[in-house]
Structure 1
Amino acid sequence: MATIHLKQTTAATPEQVVAALTDFGPGRAELFGNSSAEFLKVHDRGADWADVTEGSGGIWERLRYDWSDPRRVVMTTTDSNIWGGASGHTYTLHRRPGGGTDLDVVVVREGRNLKGRVVGALLGTVGKGFLGKALGNTVKAIEARAGAPGGGRG
């Protein structure tokens, strides 16, 4: 099982970040490179939760999104072709005193089959750089959508 911790700062507000994380409409792939329209399906949705399948490159997962806490978005994997167990993502948002948001992101990947275990092992070794770059791209896209000036990186 791989657990990857990422930190990022953005000029976007926590509300703008949550709005982007929970926007499952057209253009999602522009915010999240690992969410192609081919796999995207919203199964059900409430005021502060959603049941969504998404993925790309032949890897998909069904996630239970929960944003009932305005400072945290938890995405729990409920089904996947390679992920199982404790897999998911947690975004914790901290409002910056001068504006913007500090993001703490935890990604857990537990393989449910051989492919998942191999990909999980790779993520455990080189995944922080790969996922960190993807998070940086997402932050830039959120800032562009929100009209926020580029925030600090890292």
Structure 2
Amino acid sequence: MTTIHLHQTTTATPEQFLAGLTDFGPGRKELFGNSADSYLKVHHEGPHDADVTEGSSGIWETLHYDWTDPHRVVMTTTDSNLWGGASGHTYTLTQQSSGVTDVDAVVVRDGKNLRGRLLAGVLGLFGTRVLGKQFKKSVEAIEARNGGATGKNTQTREE
């Protein structure tokens, strides 16, 4: 199992970031590069939760999104061709007194088969760099969508 921690400061408000994170419409790939429209299927969408299949490049997962607390979005993997067990994502959004928002993301990858375990191992070695770049692009896309400047202070660490 691989756990990757990502952090970035953004000019987007927690509400703006949440709106981007939970926008399951066409063009999601513009905000989240690993979520191609051809994989996107919304199974259920409520006021504070959703069940969505998304992915790209032959890797897919069905996630249960829970944003009952609008400053913490928990995405639990319920089905996938690679991920199982404790897999998922958690985003914590903290607005600072200066007006910027700290976005902390934790990505857990628990391979459920040989291919998943191998990819989780690779992510343990290179995931922070690869996912960190994608995370930064996502934050910048959400800022641009809301007319803000790009964020700074991307920090990542692996456990």
Give the structure-1-normalised TM-score: 0.98
2:23 & 2:75 partners in 1: Cα distance? 13
Are 1:96 and 2:96 matched, yes or no?
yes
Structure 2 runs not aligned, ≥5 long: 155-159
Are 1:128 and 2:123 matched, yes or no?
no
In structure 2, the residue corresponding to 1:7 is in which secondary structure? strand
In structure 1, the residue corresponding to 2:55 is in which secondary structure? strand
Are 1:72 and 2:72 matched, yes or no?
yes
CA shift, 1:153, in A, is 3.1
For the Cα contact (< 8 Å) 1:64–1:78, is it kept in 2?
yes
- Give the equivalent residue in structure 2 for 1:56: 56
Equivalent residue runs for 1:1-150 within 5 Å: 1-150=1-150
Letter in 2 for 1:74: V
Percentage of pairs with the same residue: 64
Letter in 2 for 1:149: A
In structure 2, the residue corresponding to 1:68 is in which secondary structure? strand
Letter in 2 for 1:144: A
RMSD: 0.7
For the Cα contact (< 8 Å) 1:11–1:152, is it kept in 2?
no
Could you list the per-position Cα deviations for residues 83-131 of structure 1 after superposition, in whole angstroms to 9, with x for gaps in the alignment? Answer: 0000000000110211121011100000000000000000011100101
Give the structure-2-normalised TM-score: 0.95
In structure 2, the residue corresponding to 1:89 is in which secondary structure? strand
Letter in 2 for 1:96: Q
Greater per-residue strand proportion: 2
For the Cα contact (< 8 Å) 2:8–2:151, is it kept in 1?
no
Could you list the per-position Cα deviations for residues 57-78 of structure 1 after superposition, in whole angstroms to 9, with x for gaps in the alignment? Answer: 0000000000010110110000
